[in-house]
């Protein structure tokens, strides 16, 4: 069943904002520097292909840049004066849809405007997804935005949407973090050593 569009050609039922600040690690040791802030912006969006197969996914793809701009605007607003260092994206597809429908929301056409809104990013954006029901947990992977091979910034932020996705929806989520893990001490390339030439190191 089609739903009335309320953003470009999309029917967005709900926006979500999750912010958490970690001030100390699991053993109670205070942060080595600034606290770690993680922000998740997500939307429950009607899936126009729920319950049917289509070779063409243009109903999702056509206005991806506009959707990306709105995600970017919301992320920038949530960050305020903070600067982000890592990012990631993910989706949960309601059970009437295909996993491919979720991936259609996470293409470069959608995420490039987000990159612009958050000050760029040279590394590829880690991604995850699944099919699920309302309340399904979503683990969103994070990595440094300018260099993938920075072990201190390999992280995850977990979100849960108690009323989404409905069977005919996709939850689309983008996450950012202001720093790497607290007290990361496993070696490897450090954030202050990034050359930023190729998105890897």
pTM, whole model, 2 decimals?
A: 0.95
Q: Considering the domain boundaries, does residue 2 fall inside one?
A: no
Which residue in the block uniquely carries the two structure tokens 């989404």? 164
Handedness of CA 153, 128, 4, 56 (dihedral sign): positive
Question: DSSP state, 182?
Answer: T
Percent of the chain scoring above 70 in pLDDT: 100
Domain residues for the domain of 114 are: 12-193
* Domains of the chain: total: 1
Q: Considering the domain boundaries, does residue 1 fall inside one?
A: no
List, for residues 122-174, the tens digit of each pLDDT value.
899 999 999 999 999 999 999 999 998 999 999 999 999 999 999 999 999 99
Q: Considering the domain boundaries, does residue 4 fall inside one?
A: no
Q: Considering the domain boundaries, does residue 6 fall inside one?
A: no
Q: Considering the domain boundaries, does residue 5 fall inside one?
A: no
Which CATH number goes with the domain that contains 79? 3.30.1330.110
List, for residues 81-127, the tens digit of each pLDDT value.
999 999 999 999 999 999 999 999 999 999 999 999 999 998 999 99
């Amino acid at each position: 069943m089609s739903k009335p569009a309320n953003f470009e050609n999309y029917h967005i039922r709900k926006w979500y904002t999750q912010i958490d600040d970690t001030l100390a690690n699991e053993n109670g040791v205070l942060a080595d520097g600034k606290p770690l802030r993680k922000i998740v912006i997500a939307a429950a969006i009607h899936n126009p292909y729920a319950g049917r197969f289509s070779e063409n996914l243009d109903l999702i793809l056509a206005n991806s840049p506009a959707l990306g701009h709105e995600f970017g605007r919301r992320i920038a607003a949530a960050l305020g004066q903070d600067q982000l260092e890592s990012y990631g994206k993910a989706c949960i597809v309601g059970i009437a849809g295909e996993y491919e429908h979720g991936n259609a929301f996470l293409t470069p056409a959608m995420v490039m405007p987000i990159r612009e809104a958050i000050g760029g990013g040279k590394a590829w954006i880690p991604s995850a997804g699944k099919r699920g029901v309302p309340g399904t947990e979503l683990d969103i992977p994070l990595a440094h935005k300018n260099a993938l091979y920075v072990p201190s910034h390999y992280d995850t932020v977990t979100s849960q949407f108690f009323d989404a996705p409905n069977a005919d929806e996709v939850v689309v989520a983008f996450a950012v973090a202001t720093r790497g893990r607290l007290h990361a001490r496993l070696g490897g390339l450090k954030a202050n050593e990034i050359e930023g030439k190729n998105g890897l190191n």
